[in-house]
Structure 1
């Protein structure tokens, strides 16, 4: 991956809002939040915030969009390979980093996250708008370059579980990890040997909704990861319930320079609903 500008600050975005090559994507959970107010010129991300493929019967699948679905999404938003994309949300940026991960998988290396998200923009005192935005005309079709090394599927994860140079990082809540919250799954618990660090711990204000949640400084992130036993020397598989919170952690690990980080996109929505996959509590 070539993207070195993982984060942008509100001041940078304010200065570049009118740039022809910049597209700002509002990744809120609820489209009504966008309708009420958003960053001027921002587009509302179409579709479900999980950014998953659609099944034949129109339901949300457990996995990322197909190549054709992603190409159509980019066309709908006027985004090509050269577009500078800046994403944000109001939920600690885990929906924004989901957009980043899907785009990264399909070869877009110029997607950044607005540090502090929607709250950071407001806290900086910059203007907001309730007016909808018409996407810019796509200058050329997005050319996909898949990066299959960014994800792992169930059988491959099973094959690697016992290997000493692989580690699994579970970023769900403590209750989910311990099997006390099944989150709708048939079985509870965690993958045998998994390391646990809830994704929100890499933000500045854990469980404080009245504060702006910026990403922690890199040294503090690294210290937390090292404390729970995440090693840069191993291949890292990250999962949550549906691959969204895990996308946030993959973003952070990639930003910190951890090599060979892979997202298990099916996550517990798949693993905990199979009968042959090992779980422990």
Structure 2
């Protein structure tokens, strides 16, 4: 089954007992806005998980602006909401799927495969006059035992190594060239941020502007259609056609959130070895010795 589900698919299964719907709405710079929106109205039966309080750890010296939550801490939070190892989770937000994709990635990192993203998010659901409510469900706690998948994650040392290999291997950062032209199965770094942030021209969130040397720029929103749904597998395969499918890929963004839709899109396009650099750019620049590239 695809990683995303349609609104009509969810409507037909809205009250199935093995399913938990999770509202992941969150607005950067307005940390209470997501929860307030949830309390005002949400999809019936939905529980709420906050990007910064539930889907991240407290910010430290390293780890970026949204450090990964500790597996046992997140597992305990999920269990309290009635999410167990056999639950089916459908996540949604109103931010083009970026926060829902963060939960999708985290659950799979904890070894849970039955997790999906609602196409179009809350606004599209409401626009079709599907049911909404302000009632907050009472959930019976469950048991969630995490089975961490470390192969899904890349740390800063691994990113440094890939960056050095990529630069020395002769790829042209900032252009969509096939890395196989430079070296067979050379690891690939993908920067998921908007083009101006990648180039270092418009950085409003982090202390330094630019990108990790050797990284290619694939803006995460380019994986979606105008209505906020993800492009088809065929469209995404074409979108990423210049990348070597035999290469390992590490995806990053500003803080490990908007990289997650790109991870989903790459997997949908048929890439098998895709890892997330969770700390992303905000972690990279927390190490003074790490080099920074700007421009093309």
TM-score of the aligned structures, taking structure 2 as reference length? 0.84
SS of 2:240's equivalent?
A: helix
- CA distance in structure 1 between the partners assigned to 2:196 and 2:54 by the alignment: 22
**Tell me, which stretches of 5 or more residues in structure 1 are unaligned?**
206-211
* Distance in 1 separating the partners of 2:210 and 2:259: 17
Deviation at 1:169, TM superposition (A): 0.6
Say if 1:27 and 1:45, in contact at 8 Å, map to a contact too: yes
Aligned to 1:219: 234
- Asked whether the 8 Å contact 1:50–1:98 carries over to 2, the reply is no
Distance 2:17 2:42 in 1: 19
Residue 71 of structure 1 aligns with which residue? 75
State the match for 1:256 in structure 2: 269
Q: Alpha carbon RMSD of aligned pairs, Å? A: 2.1
**Whole-angstrom distance in 1 between the partners of 2:82 and 2:59:** 25
Q: Are 2:294 and 1:273 equivalent residues in the alignment?
A: no
With normalisation by structure 1, the TM-score equals: 0.89
Contact 1:28–1:49 (CA<8 Å) still a contact in 2?
no
Gaps of 5+ in 2: 27-33, 167-182
Say whether the 8 Å CA contact 1:87–1:114 is kept in structure 2.
Answer: yes
Q: Note the C-alpha offset of 1:200.
A: 0.7
Partners of 2:207 and 2:4 lie apart in 1 by: 38
Contact 1:46 1:73 (C-alpha < 8 Å) held by counterparts:
no
Q: Please give the secondary structure, in 2, of the residue aligned with 1:190.
A: coil
What's the offset of the Cα at 1:49?
6.9
Q: Which of 194, 198, 201 is the equivalent residue of 2:219?
A: 198
> 1:136: how far off?
3.4
Secondary structure of residue in 2 paired with 1:262: strand
Most deviating of 183-192 and 66-75: 183-192
1:237 to 240, 250, 255: 250
Q: How many residues align?
A: 267
Mapped to 1, the partners of 2:286 and 2:52 lie a distance apart of 22
1:187 to 208, 222, 230: 208
Tell me if the contact between 1:86 and 1:112 (Cα under 8 Å) persists in the aligned partners: yes
Deviations 1:33-77 (A, max 9, x none): 111211111111146278112369xxx964211122112111121
